[in-house]
Structure 1
């Protein structure tokens, strides 16, 4: 029998039992494991009688090991059967542990509360109808970019100066066209990103979302990790950066709270829409992306990389892209 009690901050407490006959099976498995490890004079390793193994290690150790095995078996099954969306690491407390008896457990875990999602298709249609795909690139922007290229690549432009005036003009016009295309592409990309963020913001604002504290903490840690990596790439030290901005780590995190909350809510909304629309990236696309990343990194990083971890990260990214494409397609 399973009892579930709601606690504060998106937490629940589960009281349950592993029946005596099931726990006895785990006790035997645990004892078998100890039997393979215990060594006693006059016996080959793994051939010590179970009675003597129990005398050697004691019932308590075998019971604890059996409880661990039972919990590993129970937890994923419990989540499926009770339809619990647990996040973070659960806390297990053993309330009853005795040979020949059922195993009593109390489990405390954080869960995702149901999201009261707004009519995201209606919001997307309204936002998309007001969107324009036209971007303007002025002559002044092209001239500014061209001047920057001249400063950064003096050798190339010095070589071009040797051409006759008509050839030089044709070369410059060709370059201006390329600059215009690049600026248009970049502006369209930025406009698309801005539209997506505004669209998500509208859906989030119109929805009711409870954010567990553990997700906020995780997002703040992620933001700190991203900043530290960025500083490292620029050859800067974390301590020097904090000294430069005259803030402690805690003050920095406090300043990130609003952004962290928004990022978590965006993630929860994307996840919920993906679930409702049954948007799942194909296995071949995941494998292709993983292979591409592993080919681009060095040999040492390739050895350290976890294919399963990469796949999980890419799954989320591709799924988010599927959701955003769906929303952008609402007309």
Structure 2
């Protein structure tokens, strides 16, 4: 993917392609048509690691990391979620204590895509060297003393994605490792907005692959002396699948238009992520139904997509949290505080 320019292709400079947001979205759609884990790899590398370096990093940080990450010569991960703080990341307990010209980091992060294979982690921690201990980002090489990145195995969803933890035990990093351009939750949340944009597109790809599989199966599989696609019940399912997928794809295109002209708000992304992932989750199930018993085998992708969507439905802001984000925007009242 690095050789093809798939990592952060919508960013400019440092050898990056600087394609349009629509082109980037279409790329995420095609990657997830293969597997959500493949799109997750590209999303994390580009939107959660390269984007914060590009947006908030020093020139030295950009020159060191962006070309290597863009080429796939280095792998990054994004350390925000903690064992006790998922939907409420602002309650994070990971700390960064200043000590001379260094910081000492302590804490734990979990459900971190790519961490077992990462060369660098963007770690969000509370900076105890400033009033109010604001959240700041730190670039932490994973081969530093005190860093461990154990893999989380035996997953039943997103099995093609390498997932792990980040344990930080008195990890010393130079002060220059801190991202200088942002403080507070604006930093990690702005990264998540970028990644969720890609998810809104990617989910459409997974659903489309399920639809194409079901349609092909319906025209080939014969029962009662005719292809099952000739029965009204199967045509009803295909018609509804095509409508739901097309509607979600149009929402993604609208999102791209807003992003390209600078009018995109996080709430727009919440609506699209929430709607499109729910749609893909539902349509994967319908496609599996149409394949009958064959649908539970590894010969066909819908059940794999269906299992993957359980993760996508939960990560990068759960479906329920995005619902409450929209509710707050519509009413002015926050229901989750």
TM range (shorter): under 0.3
TM-score for the superposition, normalised by structure 1: 0.25
More strand by proportion, 1 or 2? 2
TM-score relative to the length of structure 2 = 0.25
